[in-house]
Chains A and B, each alone.
Chain A
């Protein structure tokens, strides 16, 4: 009865929130408040539960895995990109569940925030866990990567069947020490030549952990990444090529993890279907997504933390016609900017948000010209839209500004269009 009430009230709030262009967290928060076992009694009833966590690449890997599974005819429940806290998961349930809270899905593939992994796994036990990577993230939010590793370890201890990691990440391999009996370690690999060909490599955090020696053979290896073209080899050494949703080694690693996991989850796994599904994937929400406002397009490039922003900036091959940086309190400590390689960027046309002047200071030391500071997001978008250029604005934004920009541009599908 309380579950039905949670669904009813959560849905009502969801309708109101969406109509007002509000965030996606509130309905889920209310549902969990009314019925604390909400996640367990909804997602937990789905046959197989997969958690995808890690410092970066969670959204992409999740969406890739979902696409491959759906291409194999499986019904999949998933949460929208970035809605990876307990309330976000609950909101995603509210979007598709029956009045009784039932989900019509054979598999649940969930993007799970690494800091909330221990809490979520307490409510909802994962069958399979995919850890994309361990990188240095925002210290103010997560603390050191050593602490994040401990959080991941807690989730590993609760994982029923398997842990999948990149064998190049030794700290992630050592998580296997904590797997419960009956659960196994699965690995993917990345050819050393592929790593060497990318200037920033895998940007994994270097922390000291007990080495794990019983490493199984990788079942999929990323053997080449050339712009958008990637190739993996399976355990029989057969090569499979596909198109990535964006340029970069990280997308290749995400795809390899997704392929490995899908091959385990699909009884009738077909490489042809899998690579076709990957090749047909649209850009991941907020990662290269293009929104329109005032007759001009804005290409959104996320700045979440140093490793993710560094690889996202790799996609900028030359000075953009118009470059815009919008960063606010969602990035409380932007100190890591000084570790950033700006590549070909020599001019930022507009700086926006409460961190604009810290960006201006940083850019000054890098010799990057700054056009003007327009603190307000909408005012900045209006000014940029009115410049008379046809080319899109390259918008380097944090998550909070991305949501704001989408709302201002009239994109009310704040749950990522799932």
Chain B
């Protein structure tokens, strides 16, 4: 079986390993024997049929305008993809663009996002930069590195993660009651790097379980490759937890 994964604007939105999340999703599928076509959707390209997975990564503030212009043209198609069952993963700025709007500062005009969530994002010069541990919405342990310079406002969203504790008082990027990111059916968004899905493979498998369910398949048992890399990730998370005390 061949699955498709589209990387949205990889030339603009690929900062700080954020497209590693696409690599993690594709590689885990390949270890189970699935063939994965990874397709890049760059500025000026015409989007094709709805993929199984769409991944959009992080970018610098200089990417806000060109990314916004490109996404504006694809917005309707992306909503069709979502309606067709594409599973979305968004990191950092790319994840913010899946919300309502993004602006480079509070004095700058809003740039429209794709509109999958209610989140509006204002980029800031102050950066929260620290390792974090916490729980996902299912109460499972997560760890990563928060390297975020944004203020977010949202209504009625379910956060993807909650941090324990949020020690950095410069962080203003929470989406709901101190929670981080957004989860809804078909969509996961986070500002945490790491890349998050590599360090927390259960989040990756949540997405892949949905992808395979649409094909009438269950998530297979982990292979030796899954086990080896997941054990390394679990130890990496434990080290992060111990560093944070």
Residues of A whose CB lies within 8 Å of any CB of B are: 136, 139-140, 143-147, 205-208, 329, 332-333, 335-339, 354, 357-358, 360-362, 364-365, 370
Contact = CB atoms under 8 A, between A and B. Distances in A.
Contact of A208 (B62, B194, B228): B62
B236 A357 contact: yes
Contacts of B62: 144, 146, 206-208
A371 to B, nearest CB: 13
A22 B26 CA distance: 46
Given A144-B61, A335-B20, A364-B229, 19 more contacts: A136-B16, A143-B149, A144-B149, A205-B60, A208-B65, A332-B130, A333-B16, A335-B145, A338-B195, A338-B198, A339-B16, A339-B17, A339-B20, A357-B236, A358-B199, A361-B236, A365-B20, A365-B27, A365-B229
B113 to A, nearest CB: 20
Contacts of B15: 136, 139
13 contacts: A136-B15, A139-B147, A147-B125, A333-B129, A333-B193, A336-B17, A338-B17, A339-B16, A357-B236, A358-B194, A360-B235, A364-B225, A365-B27
A365 B239 contact: no
B20 A338 contact: yes
A365 B17 contact: no
B202 interface: no
Interface residues of B, number: 36
Contact of A360 (B145, B195, B236): B236
B91 to A, nearest CB: 10
Interface in B195-239: 195, 198-199, 225, 228-229, 232-233, 235-236, 239
B198 A361 contact: yes
B127 interface: yes
Contact of B147 (A140, A208, A338, A358): A140
Interface string B15-30: 1111110011001000
B129 A338 contact: no
A63 B127 CA distance: 33
Nearest to B238: A357
B236 A143 contact: no
A140 B198 contact: no
Given A336-B16, A339-B14, A357 B60 contact: no
Given A207-B60, A335-B194, A361-B199, A143 B27 contact: no
A354 B23 CA distance: 24
A136 B233 CA distance: 26
A191 B228 CA distance: 46
Interface string B168-210: 0000000000000000000000000111001100000000000
Nearest to A329: B243
B233 A335 contact: no
A145 B239 CA distance: 30
Given A140-B129, A146-B62, A207-B62, A338 B236 contact: no
A174 B210 CA distance: 48
Q: Which 6 A-B pairs have the closest CB atoms?
A: A338-B20, A364-B229, A338-B17, A357-B236, A335-B17, A335-B193
Contacts of A147: 125
B20 A332 contact: no
A361 B131 CA distance: 17
Contacts of A365: 20, 23-24, 27, 198, 229
A370 B15 CA distance: 26
B36 to A, nearest CB: 13
A354 to B, nearest CB: 6
A194 B44 CA distance: 29
Contacts of B193: 333, 335
A357 B17 contact: no
A370 B62 CA distance: 38
A358 B236 contact: yes
Contacts of B198: 338, 361-362, 365
Contacts of B130: 332
B199 A139 contact: no
A208 B17 CA distance: 22
Contacts of A332: 129-131, 145
A146 B235 contact: no
A13 to B, nearest CB: 30
A338 B24 CA distance: 10
A357 B235 contact: yes
Contacts of A140: 127, 129, 145, 147
A287 B233 CA distance: 30
A361 B20 CA distance: 11
Contacts of B236: 357-358, 360-361
Nearest to A358: B236
Contact of A335 (B127, B195, B225, B232): B195
Given A136-B15, A207-B60, A360-B236, A333 B145 contact: yes
Contacts of B129: 139-140, 332-333
Contacts of A370: 232
A364 B232 contact: yes
Interface in B50-70: 60-62, 65
B17 A337 contact: yes
Contacts of A144: 60-62, 149
A336 B20 CA distance: 9
A332 B129 CA distance: 9
Contacts of A362: 20, 198
